[in-house]
Amino acid sequence: MISLIICTRHPNDLDELRRNVDATIGAEYQWVVIDNSQNRYNLCAAYNEGVRRSRGDILCFMHDDIVYHTQGWGNNVERHFLSPDVGMIGIVGSHIIPSSGDWRVGYAPYHVLHFVQRHHSFSHYDSYFAMHVRSCLQGPLTDVAVLDGVWFCIPRALFESGTIRFDEERFTSFHIYDLDISMQVVQSGRKLYVVDDVLLEHNSEGVYNESFVVALETFLEKWKGMLPVTRGMQIDTEQIKGNSGHYKEELEMRIERDRDMVAIINYWKQVNEGKTPSPLSHGQRILSSFSEFLFMKNMIKYYPDKEVSRNYLQNGLRGLSPRHRALILWKYFIYRVLCFPCSKKSMTFVVASGSPTPTKK
């Protein structure tokens, strides 16, 4: 049996995911939901609690904003763990954990990916401009050094033996837990693989902020002397050094971008509460206007069912001030009249890789 372990702040909003799992897993499973609506847990603590509640031989840790596209994916997972050398499987990973710690920034040549990613950045903010990413796979199982936390599975036996455990004492936020547990599995002598027979769709992207930096520093301190770790391919050490040179600059850029978004969100919260917000910088004002426009144009695409789309749109607008509501509706009207007819073709892109996110019922 597979235990599906999810930590969520919105435990009452999982009906869509439950229906999707019921329709696709094809194997016996247990649903383990850790309710974090009161922020009681960091992610490591939540996952340790999930392990304690679980009964399955295979533990599947997953985000709450995913959609499965593979029929019978649970049978595929069970088959992979018939091999005793398999310690962990996932759908996103890398052949290297670099000395700088994080493999996601600056180390793209070593990434191994098999998933559908919706892009929620300023340049790709279109819910149906999703990419079916499939790169650097070397067959059904691709040997890697690290797996991403969006979705991964580990045999229960590794936890019961005390070989591995989510480090909730050191990693007290929602970052780097996947790097740390990957390192623990590597140290156990078992292998990590990206698999090509579980396709899922992920509806958000990671956030880079100060807590990410703190968690990364904690990881480097914990595993100092053991990095870099490489698996599954020959790594050019000179190329690694070259990538390391760009790492700090790119990370700082991502942190600054996400800091701007937090400032914009807080600004509009204060506006709608009738408060006088701190002024935005010129760059933040541009991002604010653009992101509102993009957010509104996507509301109807996230929910293809017209009635649900209308209800979702109305609920989103109800809390806005009259002036803000008028401004954002005007932007949305301009999009529907001028842009929407030209972008309908993009909706077939995800359909080519699997059904898009199921319509709400």
pLDDT tens across 264-315, in order? 667 766 766 667 777 877 776 665 655 555 455 444 444 444 555 556 556 6
* Residues 215 and 268 placed together within one structural domain of the fold: no
**Is the pLDDT confidence value at 101 over 70?**
yes
**Is the pLDDT confidence value at 349 over 50?**
no
DSSP string, 174-217: SSSHHHHHHHHHHHHT-EEEEESS--EEE-------HHHHHHHH
Contact assessment for residue 59 and residue 51, using Cβ atoms and an 8 Å cutoff: yes
* Residues 187 and 149 placed together within one structural domain of the fold: yes
pTM of the shown model: 0.72
Q: Give percent above pLDDT 70 in the chain.
A: 63
Contact assessment for residue 287 and residue 260, using Cβ atoms and an 8 Å cutoff: yes
pLDDT in tens, 254-263: 667 666 766 7
Q: Which of 259, 272, 253, 262 is nearest to 317 (CA)?
A: 272
**Is the pLDDT confidence value at 40 over 60?**
yes
Which token pair is 68? Answer: 């499965």
Report helix, strand or coil for 168. coil
* Residues 192 and 292 placed together within one structural domain of the fold: no
**Is the pLDDT confidence value at 131 over 90?**
no
| Torsion sign (Cα): 322, 335, 200, 168 | negative
Q: For the residues 189-205, what does the mean pLDDT come to?
A: 89
- The backbone region for 236, taken as left when phi is positive above 0, alpha when psi lies in -120 to 50, beta otherwise, is beta
* Residues 187 and 43 placed together within one structural domain of the fold: yes
* Residues 172 and 107 placed together within one structural domain of the fold: yes
Confidence class for position 342, pLDDT limits 50, 70, 90:
very low
Confidence class for position 245, pLDDT limits 50, 70, 90:
low
- Using H for helix, E for strand and C for coil, what is the string for 213-236? HHHHHHHHHHCCCCCCEECCCCCC
Report the number of secondary-structure helices (H) and strands (E) in the chain. 12, 15
In a domain, 361, yes or no: no
In a domain, 88, yes or no: yes
In a domain, 145, yes or no: yes
pLDDT value of position 355 = 35
Q: Name which residue leads in pLDDT, 219 or 268.
A: 219
Whole-Å CA distances, 257 to 133, 199, 238, 247, 250: 24, 29, 30, 16, 11
* Residues 265 and 119 placed together within one structural domain of the fold: no
* Secondary element (H or E) of residue 261: helix 237-272
In a domain, 241, yes or no: no
Q: For the residues 82-109, what does the mean pLDDT come to?
A: 87
* Secondary element (H or E) of residue 241: helix 237-272
Confidence class for position 211, pLDDT limits 50, 70, 90:
confident
pLDDT value of position 20 = 93
* Residues 114 and 223 placed together within one structural domain of the fold: yes
Whole-Å CA distances, 289 to 153, 294, 317: 40, 9, 16
Residue 67: strand pairing partners? 201
In a domain, 117, yes or no: yes
In a domain, 243, yes or no: no
Confidence class for position 13, pLDDT limits 50, 70, 90:
confident
**Is the pLDDT confidence value at 118 over 70?**
no
pLDDT value of position 320 = 61
**Is the pLDDT confidence value at 23 over 70?**
yes
Q: For the residues 21-28, what does the mean pLDDT come to?
A: 96
Positions of E strands within the chain: 2-8, 29-35, 58-62, 66-68, 86-90, 92-94, 96-97, 111-117, 131-135, 141-144, 146-147, 151-155, 191-195, 200-202, 229-230
Which token pair is 126? Answer: 């279109």
In a domain, 246, yes or no: no
Residue 35: φ, ψ to 5° = -75, 110
Q: Which of 107, 193, 190 is nearest to 151 (CA)?
A: 193
Lowest mean pLDDT among 187-196, 210-219, 245-254: 245-254
Domain termination site, one of 236, 266, 284: 236
Domain termination site, one of 208, 236, 264: 236
Q: For the residues 309-336, what does the mean pLDDT come to?
A: 64
CA angle 134/135/136 to nearest 5° reads 140
CA dist., res. 319 & res. 274, Å (int): 12
**Is the pLDDT confidence value at 55 over 80?**
yes
Domain termination site, one of 236, 263, 292: 236
* Residues 274 and 173 placed together within one structural domain of the fold: no
**Is the pLDDT confidence value at 350 over 80?**
no
Strand-pair category, 66-68 with 200-202: antiparallel
pLDDT value of position 354 = 32
**Is the pLDDT confidence value at 361 over 90?**
no
**Is the pLDDT confidence value at 360 over 80?**
no
Residue 135, domain CATH: 3.90.550.10
Find where tokens 């903010």 sit: 125
Q: Name which residue leads in pLDDT, 333 or 104.
A: 104
- The total domain count for the chain is 2
* Residues 268 and 223 placed together within one structural domain of the fold: no
In a domain, 9, yes or no: yes
Domain membership of residue 72 as a residue range: 2-236
* Residues 134 and 73 placed together within one structural domain of the fold: yes
CA dist., res. 23 & res. 28, Å (int): 12
Lowest mean pLDDT among 31-45, 156-170, 215-229: 215-229
**Is the pLDDT confidence value at 11 over 70?**
yes
* Residues 268 and 215 placed together within one structural domain of the fold: no
Report helix, strand or coil for 126. coil
CA angle 63/64/67 to nearest 5° reads 95
* Residues 264 and 184 placed together within one structural domain of the fold: no
**Is the pLDDT confidence value at 127 over 50?**
no
